Every structure is written in structure tokens, then in C-alpha cells.
Amino acid sequence: MMLKCLAIDDEPLARKKMATYIDKTPFLELIDTCESALEALSIIQNQEIDLLFLDINMPDFNGMDFAKSLDKAPGIIFTTAYSEYAIEGYKVDAIDYLLKPIDYPEFLKAANKAQQQLTKSTNPVSEELSLKEEFLFIKSEHKIIKINLKDITYMESMREYVRIHLKNRSPLMTLISMKKLEESIPSDIFMRVHRSFIVNLQSITTIERNRIVYDEKTYIPVSEQYREVFRAYVEKHFL
């Protein structure tokens, strides 16, 4: 599930940093950046927003008062240089609280937390299915074929088609976009690591020089856009 985000901060450099972090995180979509809470309010009233990266100490209408004023607030991650707001932040059900200066690993940890919470709260049925379903159906060469998720090694974009590489059988081609495919498969099993590749995380055995190596002829590059997310996953499982 892609989370639609607003970054709200009266400091231009802080807005730019949040925008950069959002853009490089695959499951976040930046809708806009705002220099005030009032500017953000007009956007929230006119379109669906899932997540706010919200500075607290802003003139006229601070972020904490803004969060309290919303009837149906999106998920909120507070960003501030002042640690004394932390306890008050959790009183308004903030997902997380980031203390400036914020580095990307801290940001990504909070974003992952938001994805877990908001996916469960907004789409519990899909969450249940992703945990229970162990297969998917695809249309390939005028046939509908059932594929076990555990048999998928990786998926490769071929323009308007995707080639699904499988263990112990030939690859299958299906007409679907990578974006649509990414939204349809469980994120706890699959990860996009390149504009053209989604990998089954459970199929990875060797990582070398920012690439996933399957054999002497097959390797998947981990592009810079997805490198921090992939590195965080590896570090989480590193001994």
C-alpha cells in the first residue's frame, strides 16, 4: 500500500529534506510540501492524505494544536528540534516522534512503523489475505496459472509486461505494470530493489557489492533509490 504524504515545516531546508526522504522511500508518495498548517489544512480537506510529517514549532498555528484540531486526522509523525514535546505528541496518537536533525535510517524506521499501523487500520482484509494466501493467479499465454509465492525468485519488468522467474521451472510472462504488481503482493515477502526488479526476500542467499547474486550469470542490482530500504532489511536480520 502506497501512503500519500504531506511534509509540513516552516523551514525550507527541513521541507526539502523530508521531501527527499519521502521520494526515496518506495511505499511513500509525496503529495506536497507545506510551509504552514493552514496550507496543509486546505489540501487535507480536498484530497485523501494518509500520513503527515508535521513540524511542531511553527508560527501562528503550531503542529500540536493543528493535530488536535483535526476531526479525522491522517497518521502523524512529528518532526521537531524540541524534545519536550514528545509526551504531548503521543497524547494525540502520533505514530512516531523524530528529533531534528533527522537522518534517513531514523526516518525509515518511523515510516515503516507508519506503514504497518496504517495498512492494518485502513485495510484489515488485505492484511489478513497477505498473511494467509500463499499463492497468486496470473494470466500467461491465454492461460490462468497458479503460482506459489515461495516458488518466485524475482520479478523483472519488460516494459508493459513482467517476467516472473521461478524455482525449478521456466519464467512466465504476464501483462501487468510493476507498480500494480508491487501493490498486489505482500510487502513482508517481496521488496522492490530496482526500477526493473522485485525480489522474493526469502530467496536471497548472497549479496555482493550492492547486488543480489543468484548464480554466475544471474544477479540483481540494488539501485541507489532503494538501497537504504534494502540495507535496513539486511541489518535487521544481520547477526
**Separation between Cα atoms, residue 19 and residue 53, nearest integer Å:** 10
For residue 200, give the nearest of 191, 212, 209 by alpha carbon. Answer: 191
Pairing of β 3-8 and β 28-34: parallel
Residue entry with cell 502520533: 94
Cα-based distances in Å from 44 to 61, 74, 94, 169, 202: 16, 9, 17, 48, 38
Predicted confidence (pLDDT) per residue in 84-118, tens digit: 554 454 456 788 888 889 999 899 989 988 988 88
Q: Counting beta carbons within 10 angstroms of the beta carbon of residue 208, is it exposed (0 to 12), middle (13 to 18) or buried (19 or more)?
A: exposed
Tell me if residue 18 falls in helix, strand or coil.
helix
Query: What fold, for 132-236?
Result: OB fold (Dihydrolipoamide Acetyltransferase, E2P) (2.40.50)
**Separation between Cα atoms, residue 7 and residue 194, nearest integer Å:** 25
Residue 129's pLDDT band (boundaries 50, 70, 90)?
very low
- pTM (predicted TM-score): 0.55
CA angle at 205 for the pair 204 and 207, rounded to the nearest 5°: 85
Tell me the percentage of the chain whose pLDDT exceeds 70: 90
Predicted confidence (pLDDT) per residue in 57-77, tens digit: 888 788 888 888 888 879 999
Q: Does domain 3-122 have CATH number 3.40.50.2300?
A: yes
Do 170 and 153 touch, CB atoms closer than 8 A? no
C-alpha gyration radius of the chain = 20
- pLDDT of 119 above 80: no
Does the bond joining 26 to the residue before it have cis omega, within 30 degrees of 0?
no
The H or E element containing residue 29 is strand 28-34
Predicted confidence (pLDDT) per residue in 135-170, tens digit: 888 888 888 888 899 999 999 998 889 999 999 889
Task: Give strand pairing partners of 76.
Answer: 52
CA angle at 91 for the pair 86 and 94, rounded to the nearest 5°: 70
Sign of the C-alpha dihedral computed for residues 65, 68, 74 and 76 taken in this order: positive
Show me where the domains of the chain are located. Answer: 3-122, 132-236
Q: Do 3-122 and 132-236 show the same overall fold? A: no
